[in-house]
Amino acid sequence: MTRGIHRYSFRPTVPAEEIESTLLLAVLAAEGLHGQSRVRLDASYAFDAEKHVCVIDSSSDVGRDICRIFTGFAAREFGDESFSVSRVGTPPAVETQSIRA
């Protein structure tokens, strides 16, 4: 399975504080779905205010839900054309095993 990382890039005209608040609201909504402890254990995200970029690890159910919620909130609040989303990351190394007869 590949590690899913979604990268959100916002236009410079979108206020950084609003992006961060929207991301935190999406995390809070995920807590409503999965519970606070599961979000604390399974969610990983970061926000760079200077670059207007945030990344969310979507390799877990919690992360995928945060991505879905954040995308919906951002589109509604800032407009569909105010940001782009891309999947980044590399697949993990493949393990090999020898089978002996």
pLDDT digits (tens, 9 = 90+) for 59-70: 999 999 999 999
pTM, 2 dp:
0.84
Q: Which residues form the domain of 30? A: 5-88
Instruction: Tell me which residue of 30, 83, 28, 25 sits closest to 54, measured CA to CA.
Output: 83
**CA–CA separation, 46 and 1 (whole Å):** 22
Q: Is 71 among the domain residues?
A: yes
Q: Is 34 among the domain residues?
A: yes
Residues 6+ apart with CB under 8 A from 90: 2, 3
CATH assignment of the domain containing 73: 3.30.70
Q: Is 49 among the domain residues?
A: yes
Q: Is 52 among the domain residues?
A: yes
Counting the structural domains of the chain, the total is 1
* H, E, C per residue of 7-51: EEEECCCCCHHHHHHHHHHHHHHHHHHHCHHHHHHHCCEEEECCC
| pLDDT > 90 in the chain, percent | 82
At 3, the pLDDT band (50, 70, 90 cuts) reads low
